[in-house]
Copies of this chain bind each other. A is one copy, B any other.
Amino acid sequence: MNELENRLIEWRRDFHKHPELGFLEMRTSTIVANELETLGFDLEIGREVMSPGHCMGKPDDDVTKAHEKWARENGAVEKYMDRVSEGYTGIVATWDTGRPGPAIAYRVDMDALPIYESEDESHVPVQSGFRSLNTEMHACGHDAHTSIGLGLAVKIAENRDRLNGKVKLIFQPAEEGARGAISMVEAGAVDDVDCFIATHIGIGVEQDHFVASNNGFLATSKMDVRFKGVSSHAGGKPEEGKNAMLAAANAVINLNAIPRHSGGMTRINVGELHAGSGRNVIADEAKLMIETRGETSGLNDYMKTCAECVIEGAARMYQVDYEIELVGEGISAKGSTELAEILHGCAKENGLTSMVLSDESAGSEDATFFMDAVQKQDGYATYCVIGTDLAAGHHNERFDVNEKSLLQGVETLFASAVKLTNK
């Protein structure tokens, strides 16, 4: 095993052991910043590369403050803490060769999930001592992504003479829930980018395989809805209540009854509903967690518009107020075939079994916002997948990757950087 591979594994296990939820990746991002600055990258951090007004579903100040404390106590690099302590944890690290050439960007994501990691002895992180030490978990592989991003940085620094133009490494917060990308796009993170490459490990692709362009992402909107009515004693003064639970119940049913669309696949779900505060009290508050999806952004917009009408109507029925908060969003996107062909070539040269294109549905992703922005400015974009053996499916408490994939990912991505800046 070469030295880089050792470092990839070390990083990945360290991040795995210290998972942080979206917009709270303070420990992770300060460590990333420190490594990158040491290597010689120019850094933009936090508000420099994130638009605060476009951060969806960001935790409130109390949660952020509490986590800041945790990060400081658990190994965050102090000198960067000021710039990320409010939860704006994104980083754009640029290597400018000074020579003419295109600007290439690679995106990796850093956040973990609110899943309690398995304590089973057969679970590798347990065996090898890097199981999560808090109640969150890297159950989607973003620990591996961050590690690959750092490995790519090392290769770039070490092989600076082989590159031209600029290479930008984008470390994105809050991909889970499709919340963080848009704020970096809005802050201009890819305004100068000619080629954009996002990366994911796993998602159904086998070990030693590679998909150069995954096109199956569904457009999605995540919404929190709050109905606010008036409580009243249900026995004594039923007529004085404005029943938020009844509004919510009507919304739930009729959201599910939004008509199917002849243009393609759509989805809707109300995942959680909580209403009321006591058996004999008219419920004055109800909260819903909703998700729409569509095969295209247009189909998702159709679902979202219908959903808004249903919610407004349900509130009106029971004379209650409502708020809809958009807490996550992803659009659909199609990779640029020209770019995918190049990555496909790099993967094959690195000994991987590669396919150019896959349309497998793969949930939703907010990297699509970067892709859409770059393509709109006539650039190229793709979303590639690095295959790996999974111990269990994504978002499962026993999820684990094969660390062999880390170096495979780094090498394929680095090869693409060389090829793309030397065309």
Contact = CB atoms under 8 A, between A and B. Distances in A.
Interface string A275-319: 111111111001001110100000000100010011011111111
B302 A312 contact: no
Contacts of A271: 234, 276-281, 283
A234 B281 CA distance: 28
A270 B245 contact: yes
A24 B269 CA distance: 41
Contacts of A316: 309, 312-313, 316
Copies of this protein, total: 4
Nearest to A270: B245
A280 B394 CA distance: 13
A276 B267 contact: no
Contacts of A259: 238-239, 241, 243, 256, 282
A361 B269 contact: no
- Interface residues of A toward B: which range? 35 or more
A273 interface: yes
A309 B242 CA distance: 12
Contacts of A319: 306, 309
Interface in A225-282: 234-239, 241, 243, 245-246, 248-250, 252-254, 256-257, 259-263, 265-282
A254 B315 CA distance: 12
A261 B279 contact: no
Nearest to A257: B256
A81 interface: no
Contacts of A344: none
Interface in A66-109: none
Contacts of A238: 259-262, 267, 269
A351 interface: no
A254 B317 contact: yes
A59 interface: no
A181 interface: no
A364 B274 CA distance: 27
Contacts of A27: none
A218 interface: yes
Contact of A253 (B241, B250, B282, B363): B250
B262 A257 contact: no
Contacts of A268: 234
Contacts of A269: 234-235, 238, 279-282
A234 B363 CA distance: 10
Contact of A235 (B267, B270, B302): B267
A209 interface: no
Given A218-B235, A235-B218, A252-B245, A266 B260 contact: yes
A224 to B, nearest CB: 9
A315 to B, nearest CB: 7
Given A239-B260, A280-B291, 19 more contacts: A234-B267, A234-B269, A235-B361, A235-B363, A236-B361, A238-B260, A239-B259, A243-B259, A249-B252, A249-B273, A253-B257, A259-B282, A270-B283, A271-B283, A272-B278, A273-B275, A276-B289, A309-B317, A313-B317
Shortest beta-carbon contacts, A-B, top 10: A313-B317, A234-B269, A313-B316, A256-B257, A271-B279, A272-B276, A249-B249, A249-B252, A238-B259, A257-B257
